[in-house]
Amino acid sequence: EVQLVESGGGLVQPGGSLRLSCAASGFTFSAYWMTWVRQAPGKGLEWVANINPSGSEKYYADSVKGRFTISRDNAKSSLYLQMNSLSGEDTAVFYCARAKLPAAKYNWFDPWGQGILVTVSS
């Protein structure tokens, strides 16, 4: 079964840091572009960052550029999101998601993880 499971969320103070992880199973992780998408409480979906299969190509939304870093470890079938300088505007459920087709840079997302809540508050 293809599965993505996020971890590492929780409560963090403004200005703090947090590292999210996404464990993948059931498919050849190293063959796919991977993405982080977030959803603030009661709001819509916002793309955060994506990374190519080898980890050499990365893109970020303007809202997180310079603060967040996406990375991956293909040997561990894991995706990461290092988040620094967090503010209340970063409070959201964070989803990891896979491109539907292998090696496809421009693609829709399927599957998605169950999501992990990050709360930035003092």
Partner 1 sequence: DMQMTQSPSSLSASVGDRVTITCRASQNIDTYLAWYQQKPGKAPNVLIYDASTLESGVPSRFSGSGSGTEFTLTIGSLQPDDFGTYYCQQYNTYSPTFGQGTKLEIK
Binding site for partner 1 (CB under 8 A): 35, 44-47, 50, 59, 61-62, 95, 97, 100, 105-115
Q: Token pair of 119, please?
A: 């709360």
Distance CA 18, CA 80 (A): 10
Distance CA 120, CA 74 (A): 30
Q: Kindly list the strands in the beta sheet with 3-7, ordered across the sheet, starting from the edge strand earlier in the chain.
A: 3-7, 18-25, 78-83, 68-73
> With respect to partner 1, which residue has the nearer C-beta, 83 or 97?
97
* Least distance from partner 1 to the Cβ atom of residue 52, Å: 10
> With respect to partner 1, which residue has the nearer C-beta, 8 or 115?
115
> With respect to partner 1, which residue has the nearer C-beta, 80 or 95?
95
